[in-house]
Structure formats: C-alpha cells, structure tokens
Amino acid sequence: MPRRHLCPEYRASPFHLAAVIAGALLIALAPVLAVLSTRGENGVGTWDAAFWRVAIGSVALSVLFAVQRKSIAPRRADFRNGHAWIWLPGLAFAGDFWAWHWSFENTSVANSSLLCNTATLFVALYSWLVWKERISAAFVAGAVLAAGGMATLVLSSTHRASPVGGNPLLGDGLALLTAVFYAVYQLSMKRFRSEHSAPVLLFWASLVASIVLLPLALIHEAPFFPKSVQMWLPLLGLGIVSHFCGQGLISWGIAGVPASLGSVLLLVQPVGSALLAVPILGQALVPWQIVGAAACLVGLFLAVKGRG
C-alpha cells in the first residue's frame, strides 16, 4: 500500500496563515464596535447590536453568493428530514451573541474576550467524553493553567468596579456562558463541515441567529434603530468588517493550516480586543487582570498544542 503524502496539513500556506491572522484581528474589533454602537442617546441596545451584527452579516453573505451565482437553498429533504445543519449552528450562534453582547454591559472587553475564548476547553472536554478522543498531559496542564487564569480574571472583577457600571461577576459569567455556546457552534460546524461548505454554513447560522435574536431585540427597552447616521457605522463594522470579512477569512484560511496552529493563531483575537479597548474605550487593564490574562493565554496555548 503506497504511503500517503506527508501531511499537507502540516504545510501551512502563507496565504491561509495571513487570512487566519487577518480574520482574528478583524473579529478583535467586534467587542469594541459593539460597545461603541450602544453608547450615548443615539445608540442601540445590547441585543439590538447582536441582531444587527448577524443580520447585516447574512445580507453581505447573500450578496456574495449572488455575485458568485451560487445556490444556497437547502434541498426539500433537508427540511423533510429535519437536518440539523440548517438550524443547530444558528441557535448556538444566537446564544453566543446574546450572552456575549450582554456581558459588555457588565464587565470589561478584556475579561469578556478572554473568558469566551475558553470555548476550546469545552470542545476538548466534549470530544474526550463523547467522541473518546485522547488528551495529552500537555493538554491537562494547559487546561489547569487556563482555569487558574480564568479564576484570576474573575477575582480581579471582585476587587474593582465595573468599567461600564454593571455587575462584573454577572458579566464574567455571561462570557463563560458565551464560551459554552461557542463550543456548541464549533462542534456543530465541525460535524456538518464535511457535507456543506463553510460559507454556506456561516450564512445559514447567521440567518437563523438573526431570526432568533430579532424578538429579543424588539422587546429590549433600548432603541432598535440608531438615531443618527453616524451610529450606523459601528453596526456596519460589526456586520461587514468583523462578521462577514473576519469570519469569512477565518473560514477560508483555517482550511489551509494545521488545526492546532489555527487555534493558536486565533488567540490573537482576545489579545487584540483587550489592547484596543484601552485607548478606544478607556478600559485600562489592572495588574490582576494582566496576570490572569497571561495565565489564560499560555494555558490555552498549551492545551491547543496538547490536542494537536
């Protein structure tokens, strides 16, 4: 039996690497844009911003498919057989953005971004318990270190006032809930990726998420529409720059790099968000936050490498 060509997965294309890093940096803008879109009398509500993000993103994706003349309509059998690829990632996406955007009302962008990126640990735990995947000692060490970092981040919230005037512990809890939802999203995308392309899955996930988030946005007390043209800019940035371009670049780029390397590169996102929040939102990092963030990032790095 001829030997397989040695791992194209270990030969990362520079274009794919650049796409993953660029996508992560664009998504790093999302928390900052989300907070900016809700500020002042002309801003929208937290859940309204979450809706506009996926709604604008799904419209942008549909325009792309129209230009490419690519059909994204599901087959009748997809509805008749109740295929979960149409709705499961979207439900997880909706929960993800519902909890994450709500967290911005209560905790810092740095804490929220770092804690929600622990989704990789929940994915690994599920893979170990359900799919019986093996985990290494390096993964366990990294997970323990990341857990210590998470505890330090939460502890930092108990010793300082919320930078946005809410309940910092509630915000940190919502960020961890975001990680659970995002883990479900990642697992469902991994399950259906062999049957459908990443852009098609992203479109349907965004569309379903916008349908789920719409009633939540409408019942929210804050304005649904921005009251000035200027306040549409952060919403358009959320939907087009972060969601459409960021998620799209990652979906394309991740296919050309090893899975473990791709996961490590995506850690650029929480670092970028935390750093951007300092000058733009005035959310300075306190010493315990920096310690917790460093431990969390190193732990996630070791955990990801341990799985690879």
Entry field: residues in the chain? 308
| DSSP 8-state secondary structure symbol assigned to residue 286 | P
Highest mean pLDDT among 22-36, 69-83, 121-135: 22-36
The pLDDT of residue 10 is above 80:
no
Question: Which of 122-131, 214-223, 254-263 shows the lowest mean pLDDT across its residues?
Answer: 254-263
Contacts 24+ apart (CB under 8 A), 153-161: 153/111, 153/114, 153/115, 153/289, 153/292, 153/293, 153/296, 154/111, 155/288, 155/292, 156/111, 156/286, 156/288, 156/289, 156/292, 157/107, 157/111, 159/288, 160/286
Quick: pLDDT tens for 164-222: 667 888 999 999 999 999 989 988 888 887 778 888 889 999 999 999 999 999 988 88
Q: What is the pLDDT of residue 102?
A: 93
pLDDT band, very low/low/confident/very high, at 91 (cuts 50, 70, 90): very high
The pLDDT of residue 256 is above 90:
no
Higher per-residue pLDDT: 184 or 253: 184
Helices 88-103 and 198-219 cross at an angle (nearest 10°) of 50
The pLDDT of residue 76 is above 70:
no
Tell me the average pLDDT of the chain.
85
| DSSP 8-state secondary structure symbol assigned to residue 285 | P
- Quickly list DSSP for the chain: -PPPPS-GGGS--HHHHHHHHHHHHHHHHHHHHHHHHT-STT---HHHHHHHHHHHHHHHHHHHHHHHT---PPPHHHHHTT-GGGTHHHHHHHHHHHHHHHHTTTS-HHHHHHHHTTHHHHHHHHHHHTS-----HHHHHHHHHHHHHHHHHHHHHHTS--TTSS-HHHHHHHHHHHHHHHHHHHHHHHHHTTTS-HHHHHHHHHHHHHHHHHHHHHHSSS-SS-SSSTTHHHHHIIIIIIIIIIHHHHHHHGGGS-HHHHHHHTTHHHHHHHHHHHHHH--PPPHHHHHHHHHHHHHHHHHHHHH-
Q: Which residue bears the tokens 């650049």? A: 18
To 10 degrees, the CA torsion angle through 293, 163, 43, 99? 50
